[in-house]
Amino acid sequence: MKKLRVGVIYGGRSGEHEVSVASAASVIKHLDRTRYEPVPVRIEKDGRWTLVDRAPTAASAAEVIEQARQAGPRTSRARRETLIVPHESDDTLLTIDRLTGAEADQGQAVVTGLGLDVIFPVLHGPYGEDGTVQGLLELASVAYVGPGVLASAAGMDKAVMKVLFAARGLPQTPYVVLRRREWEADREAASARVLALGLPLFVKPANLGSSVGISKVKRAPELAAAIDLALEFDHKLVIEAGVPEAREIECAVLGNDDPRASIPGEIIPSREFYDYEAKYLDAASRTEIPATLTEAQVAEVQRLSLEAFEAIGAEGLSRVDFLIARDTGAVYLNEINTMPGFTTISMYAQLWDASGVSYTALVDRLITLALERHASKQRLRTSVL
C-alpha cells in the first residue's frame, strides 16, 4: 500500500509558536511510518512558509521556549520557501528553491510539488487555529485534520464562542464584551459597566490563547491596567466574573458526526491561576487523570463537552475546558480549543491515553477523520447543472 504523505504544518505567527513546534515534534515522532510519511512545513514567526530539512524534536513546549529564550531574536534564513496553491491541484503545496549565483540573478528557481495527501495543521492561536489556515486548505481542496473554517474561527473568538454556547443554554459565568472604542470614549462608564460583574474579574483578549494578555483583577483600581494590557493584544475583550476557588477540568472530544468525549482530567495550577508560566514553564503545575469527580459530574462534563463541540460546529478534535466552583460544585463551561496542545504530555493526548486511545492511534484516527470529511465533501453537488 502506498504511504500517505502527511504535511505537518507548525510554528506560525502567534504567541503559541513554540508550543506548536513541540506539538509537531510529537506528531511527527509518533506517525506510524508503515502507513504515513511526514513532511514538516514550518511557518516562521514572520509568516513565511518553509520546508525544513530536519523535523523538530523537542519533547515539550518548555524545551522549545527555553531554546528560543537562549537564542534571542533571530531571523531564520531558510531558503526553501513553500507556497500553498489556492485552487484544486495535484500539488497543493509547492516548494521553491531559489538558485544561487548567475541563475539567481536571472530570477531562476526550482519549483517542486510536495504531493501531500492530507495536512495536519498543528497550529495554535491566531493565524493557525482560527480558521485562516483552514480557509487556505479549503481553497486548495486538500484533506486536513481538525475543525473547519467556521468552527475554528468561532472557537478562537471567546465573545462569539460564548454567544453560541448561550444559544444552547450551556452554563457560563457572567461576562461582558468590551471594545476598544468604548473604553477610549469613556473609561469611567466602561469601568462601571464591567465592575457590575463583581470582583474578582478575569480580563481577556477575545482572540488569543495560552493565557497571553489575561489578568485576574482583584481590586477595582487594577482594572484599567488589565484592560490596557489586554487591548495590546486585541481590539475586543471578554471580561468575566471569576469563579471562586475554581477547579479546572478538561475533557477531550474526538470524531466527526458521532464524536466521543474522553474521561475528564483536572489541572492543578502552581500559581494564582493557570497563566502562561504555569502552563508551560513551571513544572509544579500538575494534572490529575481522571479528575476526582462524582459520577454525575463526569456525565455532566462529558455531555457539555459534546454540546460545546456541536455548538461551534467542530469536527475532528477539540478540548473543552470547564471551571467548577469548589464550594457549590457548579459546572461552568470556560472555553473550547479546536487545536489544543498536542504533545504526548499535553492534556488532550493524556486524556485519550487514559480513555484507551494511545497517541499513535489518536494521530491515526485524526487523519482518518480528515480523509473521511474531505471525501464526503467531495461528493456534494457544487452545481445545479
Ligand X SMILES: Nc1ncnc2c1ncn2[C@@H]1O[C@H](COP(=O)(O)OP(=O)(O)O)[C@@H](O)[C@H]1O
Q: Which residues here bind ligand X, judged by CB under 6 A?
A: 173, 202, 204, 208-211, 214, 240, 242-243, 246, 248, 269, 273-274, 321, 323, 334-335
Cα separation, 13 vs 359, whole angstroms: 26
Our CB check for ligand X shows the closer of 284 and 384 to be 284
Q: To the nearest whole angstrom, how small is the minimum distance from the Cβ of residue 202 to ligand X? A: 4
Which residue in the block uniquely carries the three cell numbers 473568538?
157
CB 65 within 8 A of CB 281: yes
Question: Which residue's CB is nearer to ligand X, number 160 or number 246?
Answer: 246
Q: How far is the CB of 211 from ligand X (least distance, A)?
A: 4
Q: Residue 74 Cβ, how far from ligand X at the closest point, in Å? A: 26
Contact 353, 359 (CB under 8 A): yes
Shortest CB 158 distance to ligand X, Å = 7
What is the residue whose three cell numbers read 472557537? 155
Give the nearest residue (CB) to ligand X. Answer: 274
Which residues in 193-203 are b (16+ Cβ under 10 Å) and which e? ebeebeebbbb
CB 14, min distance to ligand X, A: 11
Name which of 20 and 50 has its Cβ closer to ligand X.
20
Nearest residue (CB) to ligand X, 118 versus 336: 336
- Cβ at position 113, least distance to ligand X in Å: 37
Is the CB of 173 or the CB of 302 nearer to ligand X?
173
* Closest approach of ligand X to the CB of residue 242, in Å: 4
Radius of gyration of the chain (CA): 22
Q: Return the number of the residue (127 or 273) whose C-beta is nearest ligand X.
A: 273
How far apart are CB 12 and ligand X at their closest, in Å? 16
Which residue, 186 or 277, has its beta carbon nearer to ligand X? 277
Rounded-to-integer distance, Cα 150 and Cα 289, Å = 31
- Tell me whether residue 240 or residue 300 sits nearer to ligand X (CB atom): 240
